[in-house]
């Protein structure tokens, strides 16, 4: 292989390496954005649960009715059992 062709291949490999570095940095930045959004969502949900628990201390809540509503709305969705567990958690935390 001639020196010219070797320098061309080396140049292309350098460009590929640079592009891969850029992709990695971009992916890292996007992951940071997603993790930040998840953290914000978790904080919002936690605060909402705290407020709801405080309100539930003063009011009687029909937990079984809430569970039935979740089951009906979810129509067998895979997250329905988790939502039903959250109802139990909220009711327990107000005792």
Per-residue pLDDT tens for 1-48? 688 888 888 999 999 999 999 999 899 999 999 999 999 999 999 999
pLDDT of residue 39: 95
Record the pTM. 0.61
Tell me the CA end-to-end span of the chain in Å, nearest whole number: 80
pLDDT of residue 2: 82
Tens digit of each residue's pLDDT (9 = 90 or more) over 68-93: 999 889 887 777 889 999 999 999 88
Residue with tokens 């997250």: 79
Residue 87 CA: distances (Å) to CA of 25, 63, 64, 71, 76:
41, 7, 9, 12, 17
């Amino acid at each position: 292989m001639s020196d010219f062709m070797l320098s061309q291949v080396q140049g292309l490999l350098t460009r590929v390496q640079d592009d891969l570095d850029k992709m990695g940095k971009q992916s890292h930045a996007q992951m940071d954005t997603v993790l930040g959004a998840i953290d914000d969502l978790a904080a919002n949900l936690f605060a909402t649960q705290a407020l709801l628990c405080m309100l539930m201390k003063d009011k009687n809540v029909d937990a079984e009715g809430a569970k039935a509503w979740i089951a009906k709305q979810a129509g067998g969705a895979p997250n329905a059992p988790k939502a039903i567990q959250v109802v139990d958690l909220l009711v327990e935390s107000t005792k």
